[in-house]
Amino acid sequence: MKCTSAEFENFRNIEAATLRFGDGVTVLFGENAQGKTNVIEGIYLFARGRSFRAAKEREAVRFGERVARIKLFTESGHEKMELGAEIPLTKPKSFYKNRIKCEKNSEIIGEFRAVLFCPSHLSLIYDGPAVRRNFLDIAISQIKPLYMEYLGRYNRTLLQRNALLKAAADDPSCAFEDMNEIYAEQLASLADKISSYREEYIAALDENARAIFREMTGAREVPTFRYKPSAGEHEDRRARYFHLLTAHTDREIRMGATLFGTHKDEIEIAINGKEARQYASQGQQRSLALAMKLSEGEISYRESGEYPVFLLDDVLSELDVNRRAFVLSAIRDRQVIVTCCEPSDFSGAHMIRVSGGRYEE
């Protein structure tokens, strides 16, 4: 998987720009707030289906304009593809594949695979469970299109059930009991499918991250990654979810929220048997986060036969010399697009100077 070029129009501070990328490392360098991360954001939009920076994507439209457009030109094997995105101020965004509009934005997921590593990912270990679930959802969706469908259906059903729980709290006479069994059955079925995908992915993550961590630290420490479904360890997970969603409704009505399901899952991460979130040093936490992101690329390669594009957004400045050297060594044979202020670490790379939304090779 390669990204050969990208075109931007009225995206963030970019009025118009065309960028070409080498097969190896391309470095976007310049002062802060000049437009380096804007390129990473625009490229990753096609891998994730939405921005990793802003909840309101219309904020990406250049000030004074009404629509932003991005085109991404990719190669996978012998197949070339043109992907497009249009972000209007007043309507939802649209995606295009070879200039044909996607009926659903989710159709773009999997067409372009990329691993993003930015400073916020260094919180993967010490932050809350939602951050790790988000990591899982993004990584699995790119290689398992059906997972994205199950996750979307689950989230829509969850919103509907939560609305019903809040209505029952306000009006005990509402028909909650009549509807709850239907919602519980739907959520239990979808949660069972989502759990299976997550369990399989974390098993692969554990294997790959251990090997990467061992190489990074000289085999002094052994990390483990374990899936902790909210339903616990049960042979019939679907039945267990259904039981939880029907046996505790009084408490859920009081809380106004669904308290059981895959939206409560966790990844348990440990070093030498001790919980990393509580006992790992800052350096160990950064090494674990690095191992997770590099493993994401390895798992993508195993599933597809091609490495994804690695997008490193100003992350090397957050790492010490040894971890920085390890990352550069680990990705040397892959396509990498990296942003930085000082390009001295990247001799021989394809260099693009960034200043005020302009890009000069």
The mean pLDDT of 293-316, rounded to a whole number, is: 94
Q: What is the pLDDT of residues 13-29, one digit of tens each?
A: 999 999 999 899 999 99
Q: Which tokens in the block code for residue 201?
A: 């992915």
Alpha carbon of 32 to those of 15, 261, 309, 356: distances in Å? Answer: 18, 41, 23, 10
Residue 360 has pLDDT above 90, yes or no: yes
Name residues whose C-beta falls within 8 Å of residue 265's C-beta, 6 or more positions apart in sequence. Answer: 129, 133, 195, 198, 227, 228, 229, 230
The total number of residues written for the chain in this structure: 361
What's the half-sphere exposure (Cβ side, CA atoms, 13 Å) at 135?
Answer: 29
Residue 6 identity (one-letter amino acid)? A
95: which 2 tokens? Answer: 């995606």
The mean pLDDT value for 319-332 works out to: 86
Predicted local distance difference test score (pLDDT) of residue 173 = 67
Q: What are residue 120's phi and psi, to 5 degrees?
A: -65, -25
Q: How confident is the model at residue 279 (pLDDT cuts 50, 70, 90)?
A: very high
pLDDT digits (tens, 9 = 90+) for 78-117: 899 999 999 999 999 999 999 999 999 889 999 999 999 9
Q: What is the mean pLDDT of residues 214-234?
A: 87
Q: How many CB atoms lie within 10 A of CB 202?
A: 21
The domain made up of 1-113+306-361 has a fold known as Rossmann fold (3.40.50)
DSSP label at residue 50? S
First CA to last CA across the chain, in angstroms?
A: 23
- Give the residue, 160 or 217, on which the prediction is more confident: 160
Confidence of residue 176 (pLDDT cuts 50, 70, 90): confident
> What does the pLDDT look like over 335-351, one tens digit per residue?
999 999 888 778 788 99
Both tokens of residue 69? Answer: 């457009």
Mean pLDDT of the chain: 92
pLDDT of residue 252: 92
Q: Residue 99's pLDDT is what?
A: 95
Q: What is the mean pLDDT of residues 287-298?
A: 94
Compute the average pLDDT of residues 316-336: 87
- pLDDT per residue as tens digits for the range 31-89: 999 999 999 999 999 999 999 987 788 899 999 999 999 999 999 988 999 999 999 99
Residue 280 has pLDDT above 80, yes or no: yes
* Percent over 90 (pLDDT), the chain: 76
- Contact (CB, 8 A) for 9 and 322: no
Instruction: Tell me the pLDDT band of 305, cut-offs 50, 70 and 90.
Output: very high
Q: Is 61 helix (H, G, I), strand (E, B) or coil?
A: strand
Percent of the chain with pLDDT over 70: 100
Average pLDDT over residues 287-306: 94
Looking at the predicted structure, is the pLDDT value of residue 132 above 90?
yes
From residue 45, give the alpha-carbon distance in Å to each of 93, 108, 190. Answer: 11, 10, 26
Is the pLDDT assigned to residue 170 strictly greater than 90?
no
For the question of whether the overall pTM of this predicted structure is more than 0.95, the answer is no
Q: At what angle do helices 237-247 and 176-217 cross, to 10 degrees?
A: 130
- Per-residue pLDDT at 323 exceeds 90: no
List, in sequence order, every residue forming a beta bridge with 224; answer none if it has no partner.
270
Query: In the beta sheet, which residues pair with residue 33?
Result: none
Q: CB neighbours of 82 closer than 8 A, spacing ≥ 6?
A: 71, 72, 73, 74, 96, 97, 98, 99
